[in-house]
Amino acid sequence: MFAVTAALIDADDPLSGLEMGERPDPVPPDGWVTVTVKAASLNHHDVWTLRGVGISADRLPMVLGCDAAGLDQDGNEVIVHAVIADPDAGGGDETLDPRRGLLSERHDGTFAAQVAVPRRNLVPKPAALSFEEAACLPTAYLTAYRMLFEKSGVQPGATVLVQGAGGGVATALILLGRASGYRIWVTSRSEAKRERALKLGADQAFPAGARLPERVDVVMESVGQATWAHSVRSLRPGGRIVICGATSGDASPAELTRIFFTQLSVTGSTMGTRDQLARLARYCEQTGVRPLIDRVLPLDHARDGFAAMIDDNQFGKIIFTV
Ligand SMILES: NC(=O)c1ccc[n+]([C@@H]2O[C@H](COP(=O)([O-])OP(=O)(O)OC[C@H]3O[C@@H](n4cnc5c(N)ncnc54)[C@H](OP(=O)(O)O)[C@@H]3O)[C@@H](O)[C@H]2O)c1
């Protein structure tokens, strides 16, 4: 089958390790099934893999891709939950299984004609969502869903600051937050992205690092070092940072004095459970929210999508169709 693979790790030139070509069809072990991929979406995770973050060279070659929507062996339309974990190991939350991984970490991923996954990782795709829209949900949208509805601790009407407006997680936070009655403020380094964020439903958009008109209840952090100090300074006393990523690197200094003096909380968030993915799909069906797609490319043009993400030249999700 045709697949897009990480063949080499290069921290400075991630595209040099990207390979496209024939790979053996997956052979699902007991309890696993094969999904025929219709659409898959690109996440920063795929760039991290090419840079050697979260994977070691001895696991290569590895088919990239965490997210997919497609057809199961009986022809049902499904969305693939990307978390490969023991459902009983985390006390009912498989993302707490210390041995959990995502597709493309220990098992071949979704940038291929077919992918093998545990049967329990399949979630029905609502007919109202296209395969391209459904393929956005398993990582970026599920992460945003958990950050907003489980980890933020605030109710609709609260003010939520999203750092780095154009990313997959960030645009998901704007759409889900807006549809649920949160006041969404965003930052971006790019004026064009700030304008697009406003059109998407953000209430206000600020240049990265700008002083805000008032302090916010929650900050959604996925940028890390470049925005961390601003996130800490932007919170009201008792506010919370929910962090799911650190694209620009780990934060230093940690702003410990400000965190204890203003009694802030810092909460980590990673992916979501299979059941949350099923609820997210239903949420999209019920609210009419549809993931924002930046561009759709055939899988054999995946290199262009990776280049756009590495250059920060996207607004919304990049999709590959098979
Ligand atoms: N924990 C989890 O389960 C989980 C799930 C999904 C994602 N993540 C992580 O979250 C991060 C975002 O993921 P994604 O897929 O949404 O990535 P993405 O689409 O590549 O996000 C790119 C955004 O990050 C912002 N950004 C990047 N470098 C920046 C810098 N130096 N300064 C300011 N902003 C910067 C940009 O904002 P502007 O250009 O608008 O300024 C850009 O729009 C990644 O690190 C990813 O690994 C974690």
The protein residue whose alpha carbon is closest to atom 6 in ligand 1 is 140
* Tokens matching residue 279: 């609820």
In the numeric block, which tokens belong to residue 187? 């930052």
Q: Would you say the CB of residue 247 lies under 6 angstroms from ligand 1?
A: yes
Name the β-bridge partners of 123: 79
Q: What is the pLDDT of residue 251?
A: 78
For 259, other C-beta atoms within 10 Å of its C-beta total: 15
Phi-psi region of 4 (alpha: psi -120 to 50; beta: other; left: phi over 0): beta
Tell me the pLDDT of the chain averaged across its residues.
97
Question: Quick one: which atom of ligand 1 is closest to the CA of 48?
Answer: 47
Please choose, from the candidates 117, 24, 104, the residue with its C-alpha nearest in 3D space to the C-alpha of residue 70.
117
Per the document, the length of the chain is 322
67, 223, 267: residue to mutate for ligand 1 pocket, most atoms within 8 A of CB: 223
Nearest ligand 1 atom, CA 164: 37
What are the tens digits of pLDDT across the range 218-236?
999 999 999 999 999 999 9
Helix, coil or strand: residue 40: strand
Cα(167) to centroid of ligand 1, in Å? Answer: 5
Ligand 1 contacts CB of residue 169 (under 6 A)? yes
User: Quick check: CB of 267 below 6 Å from ligand 1?
Assistant: no
Residue carrying the six token digits 């929210």: 289
Mutate to test the pocket of ligand 1, among 94, 143, 169 (most ligand atoms within 8 A of CB): 169
Q: Is 166 in the pocket of ligand 1 (CB under 6 A)?
A: yes
If you take atom 37 of ligand 1, which residue's CA is the nearest one? 164
User: Could you please report the per-residue DSSP string of 146-205?
Assistant: HIIIIIS---TT-EEEEESTTSHHHHHHHHHHHHTT-EEEEEES-HHHHHHHHHHT-SEE
Closest to 118 measured CA to CA, from 60, 65, 62, 78: 78
Q: What is the model's pLDDT at position 75?
A: 98
Non-local CB neighbours of 227 within 8 Å, separated by 6+ positions: 163, 164, 187, 208, 209, 221, 248
How wide is the angle at C-alpha 73 spanned by C-alphas 102 and 70, nearest 5°?
A: 55
What is the identity of the amino acid at 55? I
pLDDT digits (tens, 9 = 90+) for 261-309: 999 999 999 999 999 999 999 999 999 999 999 999 999 999 999 999 9
> Closest ligand 1 atom, CA of 246?
45
Question: Nearest 5°: CA angle at 166, between 164 and 172?
Answer: 95
| Residue that is written with structure tokens 């609502």 in the block | 126
Write down the pLDDT at residue 226: 96
- Give pLDDT, residue 90: 78
Residue 252 predicted with pLDDT over 90:
no
Q: Are 114 and 108 in contact (CB under 8 A)?
A: no
pLDDT computed for residue 91 by the predictor: 85
Q: What are phi and psi of 223, to 5 degrees?
A: -90, -40
pLDDT digits (tens, 9 = 90+) for 66-118: 999 999 999 999 999 999 999 888 788 999 999 999 999 999 999 999 999 99
Q: How far is ligand 1, taken at its centre, from the CA of residue 7, in Å?
A: 24
**Per-residue pLDDT at 212 exceeds 90:** yes
Residue of minimum CA distance from atom 8 in ligand 1: 245
pLDDT per residue as tens digits for the range 9-68: 999 999 999 999 999 999 999 999 999 999 999 999 999 999 999 999 999 999 999 999
Q: What is the spatial distance between Cα 27 and Cα 278, in angstroms, rounded to a whole number? A: 26
